[in-house]
Structure 1
Amino acid sequence: MDPNREPTDLLQELDLKEYEAKALARLLRSGRTTAPDIAEATGIPNARIYGVLDSLADRGFIEVIPGRPKHYQPKAPGEILDRAKENRRQQFEDFRGEVDEMRPGFLEVFEPMYEQAEEAVSPISELFHVVDVGEPSETETRRLYRIADDSVYVITNSFAYFDDVEPAVANALEEGIDVSVLFLNPELLPEENVPHQEAIVERIESEYPAIDFRFSEEVLPWRGTFVDPSMDYGSGQAIFLVEETDVPDYKRQAAITENGSFVAGMKRYFDLIWEYESFE
């Protein structure tokens, strides 16, 4: 935590409003004092100061000492943090109770709507959902490496996004996951992408020798990552995008599927290219 941050900024992270944070910061700095003194020191309007202090007292952050005038005493910083946690826990318990109370009416209203909508869902939408290419697709790709139990397969042009998924790749290899990468033949890459592919291949050879890789002899119709395929269609997840050479990646979306049959088909295709139409 940055020690140079303003005290009021730290206090507002405890869900305090601006005036509440100013008043509590002043009390912590000055100790026991009165409402007019706090208002004068902080600029909180006199018409607001008592309501602000009552709110802090209700949350258990300060004590009110009766008298003429009243005095206000801050709790110790550690106790303030403990009270903040307890307040949040109580808020959650209250909210959970409210949700439980509204459950019957909520389900009565929305379950028929949901069931009717589900009946209208197309088979395609059940197979796939999409995310934007870029950080969203890279996040999904990292997730696949994390959940893999046995194997990861990659079809890529130059693996240009390797840096963004490298930690996930390294962790998968440490867990004993097999990783196989099918690159595009460098002769088929745009000239400006060849050095990028060469650099990634060199890194894989030197830093991750457990990764098995080859180069496809032909342009592939799709690229992406899939994990744990099984020929009994019982497992497998994938993220992929179909090649559209005239559409830049930033305008595209990647498809995600958890359909075991579809992933098994991807594996059969991968194996055919790997064995018959690729080279080391």
Structure 2
Amino acid sequence: MDREIQRSESPLSRQSRPTPTQSSAEILALEPVGAYHRLVLDTGSDVAARVSPGHFAALAIGGRDSSMLLRRAFSIHRADPGAGSIELVFAVHGRGTKALAAHHVGDSVDLIAPLGTPFPLSGGPVAAVLVAGGYGSAPMFGLAEQILDRGGRVGFVLGAASADKLFGVGLARALTPHVAVTTDDGSYGSKGRVTDPLPGMIRELGATEVHSCGPMPMLRAVTEIATAYGARSHTAVEEAMACGIGICMTCVLPVVGEDGVTRFERSCTAGPVFDGTKVRWEDAGTLPAGLEGADAMNPHRVPAR
């Protein structure tokens, strides 16, 4: 039976967002896509209709008797309210994702969705560049479609370590002619990082917004470039999340509030999408000076999670 999940939120991060639902979701498709896996789940139209680009889902892996107690969080790639399904893309990294990849069509998984704060959307047309590393591009195609539906323009900058770890290049090119691709080893597109073609793409589109998803160093660099060119930076962080609903505090980041005070904000509720200029990227994983409630004179590392 489906049940609604109530999340713990601070007044600062509280926004209008859908209440997530816990349910048993049947696997409709599970197949390899390059270096990744594509997973389609039957969630019912109610859950799918509440998904916006940037939302994520948390899956329990292994069943009631499993030693893998923590849920795994995955960005939602697509939602189809008509079919009552959502689509996830994941890479096999450890025991949890390996166990998930071993499932079969017809199996069921325990799901909580939609979770998190999605990418903000302007009411009118805008020009935006969407930047992603690896399968961090998963939520970007639905976001691009919504921007285009509002009369805006989009460009993509997609990067990965190698060609097999790129995701969605064809999807991007089906949406816009403005697509730049980079790989660290030069096996596809230009050799280099996503930050290399980003300034040119911002200028080409006259972009006022840059949306990004990927590892922390990339998000920090993208934010610095976007800010230098006068564009707003919206970043979807890839923090490890143990609960996904704002209780455990394992995914906190130091974020500067509208009042100028730095607080630990939970990536699972206040994020995963943050204003990149508000995140203290260099202080992630520490108790930084000026943090509300911490000893500002003696910052030290947060114990490893």
TM-score (norm 1): 0.30
Q: Which has the higher strand share?
A: 2
Q: Which has the higher helix share?
A: 1
TM-score (norm 2): 0.28
Higher Rg of the two aligned structures: 1
